[in-house]
Structure 1
Amino acid sequence: MPRLTISHITSYSYRQPVRFGEHRLMVRPRESYDQHLVSATLKIDPEPADVRWLQDVFGNSVAIATIDRPSTRLVIDSEVHVDHRPTKLQHVDIEDYARIYPFTYSSEEMPDLLRSIERQHVDPQRQIDTWARRFVKSGGETDTLSMLSDMTAAIKRDFTYVARPEKGTQTPIETLAKRKGTCRDYAMLMIEAVRALGFAARFVSGYLYSASQDDRHLGGGNTHAWVRVYLPGSGWVEFDPTNGIVGSRGLIRVAVARDIYQAVPISGTWSGFPGSFLDMGVSVDISVDRSAEPSVLSRKTS
């Protein structure tokens, strides 16, 4: 079980002092059977008048910061220590009735999964549906896990990863047409595709790290995005289409939500003279305790 130290610093700079509205921060990893939060420190400059914590409807930890002093900069510095026991593909155990696609979720689970099955993007020409059906065998049985793994691998293989620091996400149809995008674009494409096949899926925001020298991941050094699909017998299983990962190897969950806009790491407002905003920078450093497992340091500053 490797121990990770994750430093996530977000900084904003302005030409002249501005006032800040309430800021909503989602930078604290979720506690679960495969990741244990050992410690967490959150520093904000200028020092806020108040920071209160809450859990949202999905159980994510959210800090609400109230900053009452004008400033020419805002720095949000999160450092956490996490013990990670990643799950792997061979650990995914699906109930017999769901191992072959198609299947129907049980009557006990369906009411809680319905909103995560609902499509969120208009697809009038059924382009996403058509693409998703490519992974269903036309003859013979379709293994559920193999189908989802093949879709994950296909996005990594057939699409070009392009970093895009600007806010916003392409629609799944745009990503399908352009054959390129960011991790969040790929996550939204896969979510819509598996929902088109009747699966419950959720968006995940978190961190990506290389657990060994053999790992060569895309999308590291910043916050990362991937997908969770509900599979009876194993529950919510991670699929990272940017890197072709099935299971949680190298993935640390921070926020899980039905829609990408419910899992924004940092959001807030400021007020001041037009044109005051200068720059935003994000730095994520992840180090792995080498006494626990061989590792590399993932770093990128934008």
Structure 2
Amino acid sequence: MPILAVRHVTTYRYRQPVAFGEHRIMFRPRDSYDQRLIAASLAIEPEPCALRWMFDVFGNCVAVATFAGRARTLRFTCGITLEHTPEHAPVFPLAPHATHYPFGYGAEDMPDLIRSIERHHPDPGHAIDAFARSFIPAEGRIPTQDLLAAMTRSVRQNFTYLARAEQGVQDPVQTLRTKRGSCRDFALLMMEAVRALGMAARFVSGYLYNPRGDRERHVGGGSTHAWLQVYLPGAGWVEFDPTNGIVGNRDLIRVAVARDPRQAVPLHGSFFGFPADDLGMSVEVDVAEIDGVADTGHAVLPVLQTSASR
């Protein structure tokens, strides 16, 4: 079980000192069976006048910072250390009725899954419907895991990854038509395709571990990363990364989950000034494996350290 360290720095620059509105920061992973948080830190420059923590509607941990002064630079430096348990060859123990597609969800699950099954984007020409059904054989049933793995790897093989600095997510029909997009675009496209087949899907924001010396292994590193989860009876929420063709959680550090990508933005806020004052934003993310920590069941660092840099 490798120990991974993440350093995430976001810097906003302005032409002249501006005032800042409330900023919401979503960087702290939740503990789970496949990742155990050892330490987390957050440094903000300039120092906020208040910093509070909350859980959003999905149970994601969110820090909310408010500011009193003005500055030409606003910087957030986030750090996490966690123990990661990768699934190198995931085999999902599906419920007997869900081993092959099509399948249905139980009546007790439907009230909680329905909004994750509904389509969220228009598909007037049924292009996404056709894309989703292209993975289903003309006759007979297909193993559910094979269906989802084929869709995941098809995006990796047939689409071109492009890092996009623009905010927001590309319309999934456009992503399908151009076969180009960022990790969040590919995640949304596959979410809508999975939903077209009647399965529940949700968006995941986090980080991607690309081992040093193996830069060809994955694309999408150096910034935050995005993928999706699909709810499968018997297995629960299972990870799929269409950008890199990953099935399971290997090299994926989960921070936040949401029904819609707009609900899982890692950092967002506002400033008060002229539009021309905005000189842009830079993001630096480094994920590295560090020497292991003795598995005593206790963290060697405080689970949360919050400070303001000067």
After TM superposition, is the score higher than 0.5? Answer: yes
Which residue of structure 1 lines up, in the alignment, with residue 287 of structure 2?
286
Report deviation, 1:113.
0.6
User: Tell me, what secondary structure is at the counterpart of 1:155?
Assistant: helix
Which residue of structure 1 lines up, in the alignment, with residue 7 of structure 2?
7
Distance in 2 (CA, whole Å) between partners of 1:233 and 1:75 is 43
Residues 102 and 141, structure 2, Cα contact 8 Å, conserved in 1: no
Which residue of structure 1 lines up, in the alignment, with residue 269 of structure 2?
268
Which residue of structure 2 lines up, in the alignment, with residue 191 of structure 1?
191
User: Tell me, what secondary structure is at the counterpart of 2:276?
Assistant: coil
Which residue of structure 2 lines up, in the alignment, with residue 203 of structure 1?
203
% identity of equivalent residues: 54
How many aligned positions are there? 292
Residues 219 and 243, structure 2, Cα contact 8 Å, conserved in 1: yes
Return 119-128 or 190-199, whichever deviates more. Answer: 119-128
**Amino acid of the structure 1 residue aligned with 2:155:** I
Return the structure number with greater relative CO, CA threshold 8 A, min gap 6: 2
Which residue of structure 1 lines up, in the alignment, with residue 30 of structure 2?
30
User: Tell me, what secondary structure is at the counterpart of 2:90?
Assistant: helix
Structure 2 stretches lacking a partner, 5+ long = 294-310
**Amino acid of the structure 2 residue aligned with 1:281:** S
Which residue of structure 1 lines up, in the alignment, with residue 243 of structure 2?
242
Which residue of structure 2 lines up, in the alignment, with residue 49 of structure 1?
49
Which residue of structure 1 lines up, in the alignment, with residue 110 of structure 2?
110
User: Tell me, what secondary structure is at the counterpart of 1:91?
Assistant: coil
Report deviation, 1:279.
2.3
CA-based RMSD of the aligned residues comes to: 1.3
Residues 203 and 226, structure 2, Cα contact 8 Å, conserved in 1: yes
Distance in 2 (CA, whole Å) between partners of 1:116 and 1:141 is 24
Which residue of structure 2 lines up, in the alignment, with residue 140 of structure 1?
140
**Amino acid of the structure 2 residue aligned with 1:38:** I
**Amino acid of the structure 1 residue aligned with 2:150:** D
Please, what TM-score do these two structures have when normalized by structure 1? 0.94
Distance in 1 (CA, whole Å) between partners of 2:275 and 2:213 is 47
Distance in 1 (CA, whole Å) between partners of 2:177 and 2:197 is 20
Residues 98 and 104, structure 1, Cα contact 8 Å, conserved in 2: yes
Distance in 2 (CA, whole Å) between partners of 1:24 and 1:94 is 37
Task: Please show how residues 26-175 of structure 1 align to structure 2 within 5 Å.
Answer: 26-175=26-175
Return 81-90 or 150-159, whichever deviates more. Answer: 81-90
Residues 172 and 189, structure 2, Cα contact 8 Å, conserved in 1: yes
Report deviation, 1:195.
0.1
Structure 1 stretches lacking a partner, 5+ long = 293-302
1:181-213 Cα distance to aligned partner (Å, 9 max, x none): 110110000000000000000000000002575
